[in-house]
Amino acid sequence: MKKTSTRLADGRELIYYDLRDDSVRDAADRRPLDRTVTTSEIRRDPLLGDSVAIASHRQGRTYHPPADECPLCPSEGDRLSEIPDSAYDVVVFENRFPSLAGDSGRCEVVCFTSDHNASFADLTEEQAGLVLEAWTDRTSELSHLPSVEQVFCFENRGAEIGVTLGHPHGQIYAYPFTTPRTALMLRSAATHKEMTGGENLFDAVLERELADERVVLEGEHWVAFVPYAAHWPYEVHLYPKRRVPDLLALDEDARTEFPKVYLELLRRFDRIFGEGEPPTPYIAAWHQAPFGSLEEFDGVVREDFALHLELFTIRRTSGKLKFLAGSESGMNVFINDVPPERAAERLREVASS
């Protein structure tokens, strides 16, 4: 992998990740851009104890542009985009309309390929491996920023999810706090550790799932399963078999196998609902241990956390979506229409040819 860092016309950082060591990235951003102005602010909810990002400047962000005006495609002739070069492998750049900025953290965009009509599932194993390297590198770099406590790499895919740019891409949020979902996991891990005399909760969950009927696919170093209490109609958790707290700690064997397993999983997701169906909308979310202090979590350390990816779709059946209505949105109590065992069976049935 070759990494080249440069700056866009408004001062934002852009980084090329290339498969070839001889790639030259010296194209300048020719757009007449003013410096980016953000209004990000973190406010804490005194009743729930969680944090909300207030970012009014995002109202003006790019919204469903035509394909020939996509800001994530390479620049070509007089059509200038966020990527100054005429081609690229993987690109990461600071979001022009960030939810988090300055002392409130940082937001980045990850372009998986220059091919506008592709998807992550269309990547080769070599390309997917490069994306993994980019995620890992950005996790390392962002973790050293003084305002950052947790790094979250994710992909929103599909208009049903709310994606406003059709180009295959993901995002990275660097939060100035430990996110509520991660805090819940850490508290559960702390309670389990105390009640069992030191047993790791993530290890116990993985051991249970490996012995059950909800395993979807398994490699030498990774395993994917539908969790026992899945929240979403089709939800899969992907774990490395050797517990590590973050992407940085993955060994070479796990890195090498990841692209094959993950691409297989994504291709199965696209076939859940049968031939002729539109691509399956999904969210793919990496869960990593926070880089800040864990003192509030009663004896849990970073190494107790287990890196894993959660992949789920909001489509519950052909042509129908799972909406987060009263119980889910009002009380955070999910109601799942698809038994996890049936979801796992369906994901085992579909081939990814």
**Dihedral pair phi/psi, residue 141, rounded to 5°:** -65, -45
| Rounded Cα–Cα distance for residues 181 and 310 (Å) | 12
CB burial class (10 A; 0-12, 13-18, 19+) of residue 107? buried
Neighbours of 203 (CB within 10 A): 13
DSSP designation for 192 = H
Q: Is 221 helix (H, G, I), strand (E, B) or coil?
A: coil
- End-to-end C-alpha distance for the chain, whole angstroms: 28
Does 169 qualify as catalytic in the annotation? yes
- Residue 73 and residue 59: Cα distance in Å, rounded? 22
H or E segment to which residue 207 belongs: helix 201-210
Residues 6+ apart with CB under 8 A from 64: 164, 165, 166
List the catalytic residue out of 64, 144, 167, 169.
Answer: 169
Q: Which of 169, 297, 308 is nearest to 249 (CA)?
A: 308
Which strand ranges, in their side-by-side order, compose the sheet holding 222-225? 2-7, 13-18, 90-94, 106-111, 169-175, 150-157, 282-287, 308-313, 234-240, 222-225, 215-218
Tokens encoding 67: 């394909």
Q: For residue 159, give every residue at least 6 positions away whose Cβ sits within 8 Å of its Cβ, in sequence order, or none.
A: 281
Which residues are tagged catalytic? Answer: 169
